[in-house]
Amino acid sequence: MKALLILIPALGLLSACANSSDSNRRLQTQVDSLKKKLDSTYRPGLGEFMMGIQEHHAKLWFAGLDKNWELADFEVHEIGETIGDIKQYCTDRPEVKSIGIIDPAISSISSAIKQKDEEAFKKGFAALTDGCNNCHRDNNHGFNVITIPTGLPVTNQQFKPAK
């Protein structure tokens, strides 16, 4: 009887252990399947982020030429945000290490915009474009040459300041 009194709680403990290792296994299976899902979740690649930057680069130019400083400021921030996304999401791309190459140009454009200084803006924009190309050249993408835009990137947006 005494033995039984000891055995019953011991069995209870054992089955609790078994239960918890069962639930551990179940949790692990869930974690594994979530990991798999996460790995196969769509994330834009570096080239797609770059196409976004290309669009903002072009819009930035026309906003600056038309002295729409608010839009220019917006576009330069969009470039900065996309660079942040690249740093966060393209960690598998060693080229991203050189992305800081365009930081000085971005900050000189930003201060030109603040001062509404068209000449400084144009200079900063040329430096930014050189930065794009320097990074492309440094990373075996020298065939991809960015230029100062010669035509509007879109025809459904006004670059002059809103009235």
Which residues here bind ligand HEC, judged by CB under 6 A?
A: 45-47, 50-51, 53-54, 57, 95-96, 98-99, 101-102, 128, 131-132, 135-136, 139, 141, 144, 146
Write down the least CB distance from residue 133 to ligand HEC, Å.
Answer: 8
Tracing tokens 């690649």 back to the chain, one arrives at 45
Measured from the CB atom, is 31 or 126 closer to ligand HEC? 126
Other beta carbons within 10 angstroms of residue 11's beta carbon come to 10
What Cα–Cα distance (Å) separates residue 129 from each residue in 41, 62, 101, 116, 146? Answer: 33, 14, 11, 20, 6
Measured from the CB atom, is 60 or 159 closer to ligand HEC? 60
Measured from the CB atom, is 99 or 113 closer to ligand HEC? 99
Write down the least CB distance from residue 39 to ligand HEC, Å.
Answer: 20
What whole-number distance in Å separates Cα of residue 56 and Cα of residue 50?
A: 10
Q: Which string of DSSP letters, residue by residue, matches 123-140?
A: HHHHHHHHHHHHHHHHTT
Write down the least CB distance from residue 116 to ligand HEC, Å.
Answer: 22
Write down the least CB distance from residue 121 to ligand HEC, Å.
Answer: 15
Measured from the CB atom, is 113 or 128 closer to ligand HEC? 128
Q: By C-alpha distance, which of 78, 71, 47, 60 is closest to 128?
A: 60
